[in-house]
Structure 1
Amino acid sequence: MDNPIILVQAASRAWSGAPDWCMNEVDGRPVVALTIENGFKEFPAADVRIIAPEFDRGGRLDELPAMFPENKVSVFYGFDESPLERMIAALEDAGDHVPVIRVDGLHFGWLTDHARTMLNQASKNGLDCVKTEDDFPIQLTSDIYRPGALKKALSILEERSNGAAYRVHPKFFMFTATDKFKCARVPGPAVSEEWLKKCRETAEQVYIAGNMNVDSSKSINAGDQLSFHYEMALDYIGPDAEVLDCGCGPGYGSRMLADKAKKVVAADLDIETVRRASSGKYYDNITFQTGDATSLGFEDNCFDAVTSFETVEHVDPAPYFKEMRRVLKPGGLLILSTPQNSLGHIPVNSQHLHEFSLQEISGLCSEHFEIVKTTGIKQGRIIFPDDPKGQNTFMVCRKKI
């Protein structure tokens, strides 16, 4: 399989509606160009097809084929809310049985030799989908699909009212329907520290903001994990609760909390972030202020709940957990999320000091709290009940009385 079809999923904006980092520039080229270039090193005769939402037609992605004049690169546009339908349409001429590689445009460090191994396994065993373990660093991954299986998945999902999230990540639908699809998870390969460090160095030009943003006017709910964290948290917030939203970012989640809680204090380390957050829609039960997650200026035992999403990976976890516990009332809840990574000692995301395996984050939480529930978010908004492995860890922890 030296000349596979490689689908590169790219867009100018993320599911949250904010600009997508795959279009950030590294040495004058968008990140997605590095992702394509990496693929050609392993598969020089590959047929690379960039699959993008219709809203990007006429934009900068049109320039990508000209960056690779010696290679086969094309761009397909369509289906803003359904990468599944986008893939099927882009593979119309491919036949149903030849497996193809799919990689996210942001994943410039994807392990192409491992993709070859998975591709060969899919071809040899007639597999519909092959992916690495759910907690392997996502920036290094790619997936294998059989086009006929994608069509089959769509035909089933069209009859379901709750299938939108699976149209974003169809591999997980296939893994839920093992009676209909033949799938395999394979262990991630050994990764050298040299490669992790090289990816992290490149990422310094890619992950240029500490906060991930949401633009609700442009977001597409089916794939928006950032809002999903707050939606999950609302199940644990009562109408009389006083809540600290620690690491509030642009404040969209704080306003979601304020629709249910009695009072919300929205805190972030960066004063400009706080100013932008406070300039949004006014709520009389939200207070915006600066705050350091490892050294908060609040009294002991003053909050019923603390939400802290995508924060602990940015800081020293020891003082972080100590502060979270200190400001909570006895019996209060810490509700957090963080990337789940089996190789998190050198995270690709250069904004992160450390990313935690499920065992690591569970151990840290257990030192200070009783763990009420652990959920592994597979990708986007997809969870499997009672399965804590995923690309992201969502935890609900209680301060012991």
Structure 2
Amino acid sequence: MAGSVYYDEKLSGKRLERCYRIASPRVEQYLKAEIRHVLDRIRPTDAVLELGCGYGRVTTRLAKAARRTVGIDSAAGNIAYARSLDSEESCEFLIMDALALGFPDKAFDVVVCIQNGICAFNVDRQALVLEALRVARRGGIVLFSSYSDRFWPHRLAWFEAQSAEGLVGPIDYAASKNGSIVCTDGFRAGRMTPGDFSELCAALGVRFTTCEIDDSAVFCEIAN
């Protein structure tokens, strides 16, 4: 089952929120480190777009640092739940396909796709990057993140906990290797290494940098 379809049908709204509520202290550390890294790249005057916003876990945090914050997700359940949680209406939440964004060119200063969305969406990665760049302003940036190989034991344990709660299917341990988590119900998500990001960006001819934070996340920052 394609990643985006899986989330749309099986892992949206409160079920997705539950995945984060059962995270171990080490996973919570990683999640906070990701957000801190993104916040360090945002200015108060920026318009920010998050791709694959889920129930708004990250989007609402980014809204505290930016002039305008928009979160898009293909799952209607996620967007409905995100809107219900955003009591201050600090963000705009829209149902939208990350490969066909309904925004004009150069609409945002920062475009964010973290928590391994580049793999979890299970879409053409070059097309995803190009569409993100299309809506980024000249001088703006696009941020993608994936998992560090150093984080593998913690990531696997987190998915084991999700499986135990019935949020995802049983782990297919024979197939879950080389940075990929595979479940018997069709869930599958790999990861991007710094080399993978370099290869992708080189193929597109874009300027980029990569870094690893917290021994858990690999970031790729693309300059527009």
TM-score, normalising length from structure 2?
0.69
1:316 matched to 2:124? The reply is yes
In structure 2, what is the equivalent of residue 326 of structure 1? 134
Q: Are the aligned partners of 2:33 and 2:214 in contact in 1 as well (CA < 8 Å)?
A: no
Distance 1:368 1:214, change over 3 A: farther
1:222, CA displacement in angstroms?
A: 5.5
The answer on 1:258 being equivalent to 2:63 is yes
| Partner Cα distance (1:360, 1:239) in 2 | 32
Structure 1 gaps of 5+ residues are 1-203, 380-391
Alpha carbons 1:325, 1:369 under 8 Å: kept: no
Deviation at 1:353, TM superposition (A): 5.6
Distance 1:344 1:293, change over 3 A: farther
* Partner residue in 1 for 2:182: 349
2:212 aligned partner: 375
5 Å-filtered alignment, 1:52-67, equals none
Alpha-carbon shift at residue 377 of structure 1 (Å): 4.3
Distance in 1 (alpha carbons) for counterparts of 2:208 and 2:189: 24
Q: Output the CA distance in 1 between the equivalents of 2:20 and 2:178.
A: 33
Alpha-carbon distance change, 214 to 331 in structure 1, aligned in 2, over 3 angstroms: farther
Contact 1:300 / 1:328 at 8 angstroms: preserved in 2?
Answer: yes
Q: Comparing both structures, which one devotes a greater share of its residues to helix? A: 2
**Given residue 307 of structure 1, which amino acid in structure 2 is its aligned partner?**
V
Q: Assess if the C-alpha contact under 8 Å between 2:53 and 2:71 holds in 1.
A: yes
- Asked if the contact 2:194/2:218 (under 8 Å) is kept, the reply is yes
Pairing partner for 1:274 from 79, 84, 87? 79
**Aligned 8 A contact 2:197 2:220 in 1:** no
Compute the RMSD of aligned alpha carbons: 3.1
Mapped to 1, the partners of 2:80 and 2:63 lie a distance apart of 18
Corresponding position of 1:297: 102
Q: Secondary structure at the match of 1:279?
A: helix
Q: CA deviation at 1:292?
A: 1.2
Unmatched tracts of structure 2, length 5 or more: 1-5, 153-175
Query: 1:276 offset after TM fit, Å?
Result: 0.6
Q: Deviations over 1:306-358 (max 9, x none)?
A: 11112110222021011011110111111111135699888333534653332
Write the deviation string for residues 270-293 of structure 1: whole angstroms up to 9, x where unpaired.
011110111103234410001111
Question: Is contact 1:249-1:277 (8 Å) kept?
Answer: yes
Aligned to 2:31: 226
Runs (4 or more) in structure 1 with deviation over 4 Å come to 214-222, 340-346
- What does residue 109 of structure 1 align with? none
Q: Tell me, what secondary structure is at the counterpart of 1:236?
A: coil
What is the aligned partner in structure 2 of residue 189 from structure 1? none
Query: Letter of the aligned partner of 2:118 in structure 1?
Result: V
Aligned residues of 1:227 and 1:253 also touching (Cα < 8 A): no
- In the alignment, the residues of structure 1 paired with residue 178 and residue 99 of structure 2 have an alpha-carbon distance, to the nearest angstrom, of 20
Q: How does 1:103-182 map to 2 (within 5 A)?
A: none
* Cα distance in 1 for residues equivalent to 2:20 and 2:219: 22
Over residues 334-393 of structure 1, what are the superposed CA-to-partner deviations in whole Å (9 max), with x where a residue is unaligned? 1111135699888333534653332112221342532244225424xxxxxxxxxxxx31
3-state DSSP of counterpart to 2:40:
helix
Taking the aligned partners of 1:217 and 1:374, their CA distance within structure 2 comes to: 27
